[in-house]
A = this chain, B = another copy of it.
Amino acid sequence: MRADELAAPYPTVQLGTPAIEAARLLAGQDLPGLIVLDGKGYPFTVLAGTQVLRMAIPQYCQDDPALAAVIDEQAADLFLRELGDRTVAQTLPGHSRDLAVVAGDATVLEIAALMARTGVPLVAVVHKDKTLMGAVTLDALLDRLLAL
């Protein structure tokens, strides 16, 4: 079993997509993460849901958990203000060396090892012409491995 047999259609966002729209896509479809495409349709990065969440948390709350404990009522407002009018590109974390992207001939074990290493429960599968074929989620991978 190879990546091209496991790849399924998966929603994507662009670098220029408003960050708030990306967060809504993640939440609205209960996705395990997001595939961010560059201008040529190639995966620029693949983010775990927790990395998307991080974009929306004011830096001072990430730096100081004690601060997060005393800010309560306006959490949703803070969150939306933090995302504001920024695009996905403007909120992206520092680039990871280990991109969750594989070619169609990647083995199941390669995909699993990549997910385990990156902590991203989602792998983008690309065609040889550098366009997106689809994605393999952790759930889909486990379902196949465990024959559920």
Contact = CB atoms under 8 A, between A and B. Distances in A.
A92 interface: no
A62 B23 contact: no
Interface stretch (A9-17, A48-56, A127-135): A48-56
A73 to B, nearest CB: 8
Nearest to A115: B50
Interface residues of A, number: 56
A99 interface: no
Given A24-B146, A24-B148, 11 more contacts: A27-B145, A30-B139, A48-B121, A49-B139, A51-B119, A62-B113, A65-B113, A69-B110, A71-B109, A75-B108, A79-B146
